[in-house]
Amino acid sequence: MRQRAKMADVLSLPSLLSARVAEVAGVDPELRPATRPQFGHFQTNVALRLANAAGRPPREIAAELVAKIAVADLCEPLEIAGPGFINLRIKADVLARVANEVLADPWAGIARVEQPQTVVIDYSSPNVAKQMHVGHLRSTIIGDCFTRVLRIQGHTVVPQNHIGDWGRQFGMLVEQILDEGLAVAALDLPGAEALYQRANTHLKESEEFADRARERVVKLQSGDAETLAIWQQLIDVSLAGFNATYARMNVLLTNADLAGESLYNADLPVVAEDLEARGIAKVDDGALVVFVEGQATPAIIRNAAGGFGYTCTDLAAIRYRIGKLAANRLIYVVGSPQEYHFQQVFAVARLAGYLPESVTAEFVGFGQVLGADGKKFSTREGTAVTLNSLLDAAEEQAAPSIALAAIKYADLSSGLQKDYTFDAERMVGTHGDTGPYLQYAHARANRILVKADAEGIAYGEIGTLTEPAEHQVALLLSRFGEAVAAVGETLQPHRLCGYLYELATALSVFYEQCPVLTSEGEVRASRLALCAATKKVLASGLDLLGIEAPERM
């Protein structure tokens, strides 16, 4: 059967080739990038696996497959290597086609999903009257990346910034404000945090104050106007601080994404009543709890004092996200210490039918940020490091856009579960697997293009690609879509980071081995165009990580 690959298909060469091989082999060929240039571009061990099952010589099977696999439009004649591996080498003209497609539109290789979902992502979620700390930094960066990737794939993403804007702490905060006669609106976020600390100390020292704080909580809950007004001011002050940090971090979150704990107040008694009425929750030692099989402690829906806490709020949030926001997929980006909490919430929500089987719920935890001493990063006083001070520390080493790239990339490029060491000096380096290295690769490609332009050298299409280093770059360009899809599916941003690093590295090998500006004619035009295509993919990929791609560095 004669086949001719459609234009867009060449932008997912591995899946295209896999499908063609599978048609003949009957199983997934598990195509891998070739380990050495002499083995072509991709390799499969499918003949060895089939031979094993059939008890026949692998090279014989390989020869049979090679005779039938219809890839002449894409590959050079297939080769059989060693014990029976099949090597595939993409034709140079196909690689040129790939690069031209990418040059025309770097997003072309990103498949819009067939069934777009509504994905609700819970991230950032700092607490009112407290500065964001490193945990919120990671959540914000990772969640921002998911939002960008899932949106480009065609999903509807609804970020939910589940800020801590309700709870007992507001009793002492409001009392302290009234005691001090403080003008809350004039505070900034660090000022509000200092107030928090004064209130906390006061609470520990004075019974009388503690009593007043408790009464104030009741007033807040019953909607007392003066109390609510002060509460709102605290929120406004905090939001101003959060938003300043978001702007500094160049993330997509806006006030429209705010869905703080207080949003669910009205639903909390409804949830408790519903769970109790259906026998899912029961009263135990005065508290309303749900026992979940396999979990050591029960989920507390309402405590013995009648208060609803964190767990009940998250159950109400699930009802809202599925009922009102019509989510098909729930993602929570929160530090690993809260994994148990979410397992419990998901389990109870499934039991109660708030979370139907058709909706997936994923907890994406992440490790800690460590200081140079290998211990949890904290201030000299032993308190959590604020997010802003981390940004400051990185900016002491580099310009803001580079410092930010350094932090974001460090955050996203190793497995999320792993702790990572905050080593500002290493992170801002333009050598090795860093964000600034990728920015630099982008700026360097740009510099060549600008120079060519200044010299009046035009480039249009990629015509001929003769050198292996050029082939490698073009091949990688064809894999951008695959890398993005992997992040959308597995929620592991390091898949995209690793891809971009490979691309940047291939680009620098290409410069070393293939003169660009000093070559001539069609070769020069092709090479310039290849630089331009690669520059576009680097910029697009960095954008999905939330990292700026400066033109100059």
Q: Tell me which residues touch ligand ARG (CB under 6 A).
A: 122, 125-127, 162, 164, 314, 317, 334
If the CB atoms of residues 58 and 164 are measured against ligand ARG, the closer one turns out to be 164
Distance CA 190, CA 197 (A): 11
**Residue 301 vs residues 275, 345, 375: alpha-carbon distances, Å:** 9, 10, 35
DSSP-derived pairing of the beta strands 118-122 and 329-333: parallel
For residue 139, the minimal CB distance to ligand ARG (Å) is 8
For residue 341, the minimal CB distance to ligand ARG (Å) is 7
**Residue 338 vs residues 41, 334, 335, 367, 389: alpha-carbon distances, Å:** 43, 7, 6, 11, 24
For residue 135, the minimal CB distance to ligand ARG (Å) is 7
If the CB atoms of residues 132 and 145 are measured against ligand ARG, the closer one turns out to be 132
Distance CA 234, CA 212 (A): 19
Sheet holding 32-33, edge to edge: 32-33, 42-44, 85-88, 79-81
Contacts by 415-419, CB closer than 8 A, 24 or more apart = 415/492, 415/494, 416/142, 416/364, 416/365, 416/366, 416/367, 416/492, 416/493, 416/494, 417/336, 417/365, 417/366, 417/367, 418/367, 419/367, 419/368, 419/369, 419/370
For residue 143, the minimal CB distance to ligand ARG (Å) is 10
- Cβ-proximal residue to ligand ARG, closest one: 125
If the CB atoms of residues 334 and 406 are measured against ligand ARG, the closer one turns out to be 334
388-406 in b/e burial notation, b at 16+ Cβ within 10 A?
bebbebbbebbeebbbbbb
Neighbours of 384 (CB within 10 A): 17
Distance CA 240, CA 118 (A): 29
For residue 395, the minimal CB distance to ligand ARG (Å) is 24
If the CB atoms of residues 230 and 334 are measured against ligand ARG, the closer one turns out to be 334
For residue 335, the minimal CB distance to ligand ARG (Å) is 7
If the CB atoms of residues 134 and 292 are measured against ligand ARG, the closer one turns out to be 134
If the CB atoms of residues 11 and 334 are measured against ligand ARG, the closer one turns out to be 334
If the CB atoms of residues 12 and 169 are measured against ligand ARG, the closer one turns out to be 169
**Region of residue 326 (left: phi > 0; alpha: psi -120 to 50; beta: else):** left
CB 335 within 8 A of CB 125: no
If the CB atoms of residues 342 and 459 are measured against ligand ARG, the closer one turns out to be 342
For residue 245, the minimal CB distance to ligand ARG (Å) is 14
For residue 512, the minimal CB distance to ligand ARG (Å) is 47
Alpha helices for 324-467 (secondary structure H): 339-352, 387-395, 400-413, 424-427, 435-454
If the CB atoms of residues 138 and 536 are measured against ligand ARG, the closer one turns out to be 138
For residue 131, the minimal CB distance to ligand ARG (Å) is 11
